[in-house]
Amino acid sequence: MDFSFSEEQTLLRNSVAKFLADNYTFENWRKFTRAEPGRDVANWQHFAELGLLAASLPEDFGGLGGGPVDNMIVMEEFGKALVVEPFVSTVVIGAGMIARDGSKELKDEVLPKIAGGESIVAFAFAEPKSRFNLADISTTAKKQGSGYVLNGHKAVVIGAPWADTLVVTARTAGNQRDETGVSVFLVDKKTKGVTTRDYPTVDGLRASEVTFENVEVPASRVIGQIDNGLALVERAADEAIAAHCAEATGAMKVLVDTTVEYSKTRKQFGVPIGKFQALQHRMVDMFTSYQQSVSMTLMVTLHLDEAPAARKKAASAAKVQIGRAGRYVGQEAVQIHGGIGMTDELNVGHYFKRVTMIDTLFGNVDHHLKRYASLS
């Protein structure tokens, strides 16, 4: 099987890498993540001009007709620069769900805006008591006239402070943990009854607690079929897992490269610490874990269009590898750097925080080990 990238994909990677190297330095990242609104607003439009937001979208709706591999390439480069912009929730989840299961009207309205950098989407799916169960939903959507009325609370909605639109999971039938009765809605954040409490996260992103109080949503804003939205949510989550795996591999590469470079300059007993065989072995293990993660990320990306069972199994396998490798590579990077490894001025600690938080997104190692076992 040929795993080489096409000429267009190579150009995409090069253009992303060049832009980030010129404009998204670690010092710039530290400045804008500590000020309001927590990002450089101009970057989102730059991403649109580079074609990053349109790369995986259908050509009929302003996209470039790419696919998951294009998202993988973008996210890997984003991981190297600790990019905070909500690419996954907007392009991978929001645009992906609408492109597959949205109505023609929704596609015509939303997808060109996303491709052009005019819209940001946040995925409001997690609830305070739901943990990693995507079907555990207490937020309700009651039929009223020709539309629906939403009531409930969504927790840790990544990117919501910057978003204008929310993709919301709600229960339209059944009990709180039933797999049927789940529906997906596209909600304008400015709709009456939507309130948010915004806050920074430990890894430099922004998130919100979102409350819905008698929020009226037209039936035209439903994505997919009423009561049968769980399969749509599960696929979106697996695609997000693949994207975050790519992001983690990018971050791990920086951790490995930074640690190796440091070992060549830091001296102990009159020689660089990289001369010590024990540390050489540890850095080789770091590199091996990183390379295994790259392979698993490519594997899950290529399995996203498979049958649901095969896709879920691939996503869980990749998430387990990424979670374990991210923790190992991050810990070793900090240990070899010593105390400086966790200082705010050095990038190592920030990359470690990011790969650690990626492990918790859409299920941690323990959760996906259980899911993998249940599918085997």
Instruction: For 291-325, write each residue's pLDDT tens digit.
Output: 999 999 999 999 999 999 999 999 999 999 999 99
* Single-letter residue type at 347: N
* Single-letter residue type at 320: V
**Which residues 6+ apart lie within 8 Å of 337 measured at CB?**
259, 262, 346, 348
> Domains along the chain?
7-119 (1.10.540.10), 122-227 (2.40.110.10), 231-375 (1.20.140.10)
Question: Each residue of 248-272: b (16+ CB within 10 Å) or e?
Answer: bbbbbbbbbebbbebbeeeeeeeee
Which two three-digit tokens encode residue 40? Answer: 């450089």
Instruction: For 67-84, write each residue's pLDDT tens digit.
Output: 999 999 999 999 999 999
Calpha distance 123→93 (Å, rounded): 7
Q: Is the pLDDT of residue 209 over 90?
A: yes
Q: Which residue's structure tokens are 């609370």?
A: 153
Which two three-digit tokens encode residue 125? Answer: 């799916």
- Work out the pLDDT band at 267, boundaries 50, 70, 90: confident
Alpha helices in the chain (DSSP H): 7-23, 26-33, 41-49, 68-81, 87, 96-101, 104-115, 230-265, 277-302, 308-337, 347-360, 365-375
CA angle centred on 130, ends 93 and 327, rounded to 5°: 70
**Helices 347-360 and 308-337 sit at what angle, rounded to 10 degrees?**
150
In this prediction, residue 1 carries a pLDDT of: 53
